[in-house]
Amino acid sequence: MRWVLDGDNENAGRGALLSLAITHIEKNMTVFAVDRIPVNREFSMSFHFVDGADHRVSARAQLPGEKAMRSEQVVSVSAVEPPASAMLPAMGLFLMAIALGLVVGRWSRCHASPP
């Protein structure tokens, strides 16, 4: 994500106070927000969206001695799978629970008293 202050503005050299919000449109929920961070011409960051829904990115910049500028854009994103460092422990725990259930079931069947 990248936000750039317009260089044509006479106060652009003094920077701005930037407020940024990312809203999940379907759930109408703000998933990320920063308020009034000092920015000198440009702000960029990497943001990992957790699902493939549309999101609204709203930016509001307050320049010294001027009205606030506001921009808004709807972005469509593609969902990505979680990293292996998060996926493998969960998968291992799931497989261990199934294996434990099979072992306990087999053990209880072998040690059951005859009718």
The verdict on pTM exceeding 0.85 is no
What is the spatial distance between Cα 5 and Cα 96, in angstroms, rounded to a whole number?
Answer: 53
Query: For the chain, what is the mean pLDDT?
Result: 85
| Residue bearing the bigger pLDDT, 42 or 97 | 97
Given this model, what pLDDT does residue 2 score?
84
CA distance 80 to 84: 12
Dump pLDDT digits (tens) for 46-85.
Answer: 887 777 889 999 999 888 878 888 989 999 887 777 777 8
Average pLDDT over residues 95-101: 97
More confident residue, 64 or 89: 89
